[in-house]
Structure 1
Amino acid sequence: MPDRHQRDKTTFRPPPEVKTEAQNVLAGRDDWTLNDFLVACMVLLARNPDAMLERLKDFKPPPKKGRPRKSAT
């Protein structure tokens, strides 16, 4: 497996309480890290997008207010 530090980085900013709760859940499962979970979610999204998005729709955060992005990428 290639060195994961040489891959492009993706940054996300969950609310601190959500991140802490998720880390606590995963800490009780020796074979999962937060990164493992996020990668697995992205794989599932890529392989079964309709089912994944349907399941998550109730948990989607509200749109952010403020300045629009500089570009669409």
Structure 2
Amino acid sequence: MANKSHPVQYKLRMSEVMHQWLKAQAKENHRTLLAEINMHLEHARERIEKQSGTKKADDTVESNPSASTKI
């Protein structure tokens, strides 16, 4: 069983254009690049769940708060 207190590490490949866009968005929103990626993924997940009428896979664990902290 996965330990829910620690985030999963995952190497992510993306185009240079996407990387530069995300970096610019993160800077504009005063977030780290990781927090910006997580925010976009969470919004996409919420939109998909709303459209499909499904619940979150795990309602007890929200996103990693330290990953979304603005600096």
What's the TM-score once normalised by structure 2's chain length?
0.43
Q: Which has the larger radius of gyration?
A: 1
TM-score normalised to structure 1 length? 0.42
Q: Which has the higher contact order (CA 8 A, sep 6+)?
A: 2
